[in-house]
Amino acid sequence: MLELFRATGAYLTGHFLLTSGLHSPEYLQCALVLQFPNHAERLGRALAVALRRFLAEGTDLVIAPALGGLIIGHEVARALGVRFLFAERDTQGTMTLRRGFSLAAGERAVVVEDVVTTGGSTREVVNLVQASGARVLAAGSIIDRSGGVAEVGAPRVALATLQAVTFAPEQCPLCRQGSPAVKPGSRK
């Protein structure tokens, strides 16, 4: 998996501010891999296969947090033959369904994300789905940067699990060296 990220220029090194607020000397920019439809399709199929062990009763839909989960979520939904929805942040920063999307009580959902570090965005979507009365059967991601410890409120799989080096901003050695942190992700 990391070779694919390196080959597409999606494995970055430097000083990065992650969505979680943590700092890291490495960053996985999934959009650079997923810009190639053949890679997106292949990764979506692989993630659908990994998720199937949680889907004995079937699933009705895949839902992903915007922006990072859009492409991979769509590809997983295609591989599973179900509909795809996405959640996005409202003006207060809360994950919500917009654009006419809705969930019905009792529907069975899978939450898909590109990269999990703390699991925050995935957990927000899990909570949104559950608040609607639908059920979350599982969650999946291309990359798990938490080393397998991020808790999202549902059983979880990833195509690759890494123990990423992260620092709280006040403990970041890169900051102490005067290196500015950059934010390559989709959130402000």
Please give the average per-residue pLDDT across 34-59, as a whole number.
Answer: 97
Residue 48 domain-assigned (yes or no): yes
pLDDT computed for residue 1 by the predictor: 84
Residue 70 domain-assigned (yes or no): yes
The Cα–Cα gap between 131 and 94 comes to 13
pLDDT computed for residue 25 by the predictor: 95
pTM of the model: 0.90
In this predicted structure, the answer to whether residue 20 has a pLDDT above a threshold of 70 is: yes
Residue 45 domain-assigned (yes or no): yes
The 10s digit of each residue's pLDDT in 79-109 is 999 999 999 999 998 999 999 999 999 999 9
Tokens at residue 155, please? 């059983």
Residue 183 domain-assigned (yes or no): no
The residues facing 146 across adjacent strands are 163
Confidence of residue 184 (pLDDT cuts 50, 70, 90): confident
In this predicted structure, the answer to whether residue 187 has a pLDDT above a threshold of 60 is: no
Tokens at residue 58, please? 């079937």
Residue 181 domain-assigned (yes or no): no
Structural domain boundaries, residue 131? 2-176
Residue 63 domain-assigned (yes or no): yes
In this predicted structure, the answer to whether residue 61 has a pLDDT above a threshold of 80 is: yes
The number of domains in the chain is 1
Residue 185 domain-assigned (yes or no): no
Confidence of residue 185 (pLDDT cuts 50, 70, 90): low
Instruction: Kindly tell me the sign of the dihedral angle through the C-alpha atoms of 163, 167, 171, 172.
Output: positive
Tell me how far the alpha carbon of residue 77 is from its chain's centroid: 14
Confidence of residue 18 (pLDDT cuts 50, 70, 90): confident
H helix or E strand, kind and range, residue 149: none
The 10s digit of each residue's pLDDT in 105-147 is 999 999 999 999 889 999 999 999 999 999 999 999 999 988 8
Give the CATH number, domain containing residue 111: 3.40.50.2020
Residue 115 domain-assigned (yes or no): yes
